[in-house]
Structure 1
Amino acid sequence: MYAFCTVVLTVAGVVALVRMERGPTMLDRVVALDVVTAVVLGSIALISANTKRTDLVPVLVVLAIVGFVGSVTIARFVAVERADEARILTKEELRVVLAQQNVMDDEAAPVHDPDAARVRGDGVEPGDAGPGNEPADPGPVDGSVAGQHEEEPPARDGEMGEGARGEGR
């Protein structure tokens, strides 16, 4: 029975390591990490049962907790990927993406500037079309001339507000 369990644990470990290396998604790698942790736990449990050593039980508990906390931590901080971004690009696909990025001008005006609407506070950009393609807003409400904005200096540490530090979540 000991030999059979050793073979099963070895096969599971090898398959998990292959899945961890090949991916293609982060989920595959996290599940493979969980399987490797289970293989280590199973190996220690097998050694403990075979040698009748009860002093390895606390080691099993600690390893199980570390494996659980590691999986939860990875799941917490891994960004959600779209399906087309979840896989590794081929060389040709990478060339196409880089060519598209190089075509974009870094100095071009942004398509939509969410900061401008936030400064005004109403979420409506000057010149936005309302019903019937008529301007919904004639322009700035603070008395300044449309198109002239005073840029505020970037916020320093401590001026970002509660949301920037994650408070109130």
Structure 2
Amino acid sequence: MTVILVVSGALLFTSSLLIGYRVLAGPSSLDRLVGVDALLAIAICGVAIWMVYTRDTTLAPAVVALALVGFIGSVSVARFRVRDEE
């Protein structure tokens, strides 16, 4: 079980590095928005992996709160997004 959790953490770390590059270098603001959403999803998965590893469910409300903040943030930014200059 520990091997699976370590591999999952390593894959999450690798994907966060790749997505972090997309957030910093993304050619448009929409690319950056999608990257930030993906980083938030990776953070949620990281917290969930930590909960499985420690067998402690006290962080479950934090996962729900992160999901709500991500959803509300994405909807509000997408609603008021202005087109990028060509």
Structure 1-normalised TM-score?
0.48
Instruction: Give the counterpart of 1:79 among 79, 82, 86.
Output: 82
Deviation at 1:80, TM superposition (A): 2.7
Residue type of the partner of 2:8?
C
CA contact (8 A) 1:12 1:35 kept: no
Deviation at 1:77, TM superposition (A): 1.1
Q: Which runs of 4+ in 1 moved over 6 A?
A: none
CA contact (8 A) 1:13 1:36 kept: yes
Instruction: Give the counterpart of 1:38 among 41, 45, 48.
Output: 41
Residue type of the partner of 1:75?
A
Matched, 1:24 2:31: no
Higher helix share: 2
Matches within 5 A, 1:143-158: none
Unaligned ranges ≥5, structure 1: 87-169
Larger radius of gyration: 1
Q: CA–CA distance in 2 between the matches of 1:51 and 1:6?
A: 14
- Structure number with higher relative contact order (C-alpha < 8 Å, ≥ 6 residues apart): 2
The size of the alignment, in residue pairs, is 83
Residue type of the partner of 2:64?
V
Instruction: Give the counterpart of 1:63 among 24, 42, 66.
Output: 66
1:93-139 residue CA offsets vs partner (Å, 9 max, x unmatched): xxxxxxxxxxxxxxxxxxxxxxxxxxxxxxxxxxxxxxxxxxxxxxx
Corresponding residue of 1:12 = 15
Q: CA–CA distance in 1 between the matches of 2:11 and 2:37?
A: 16
Identity %: 34
Corresponding residue of 2:51 = 48
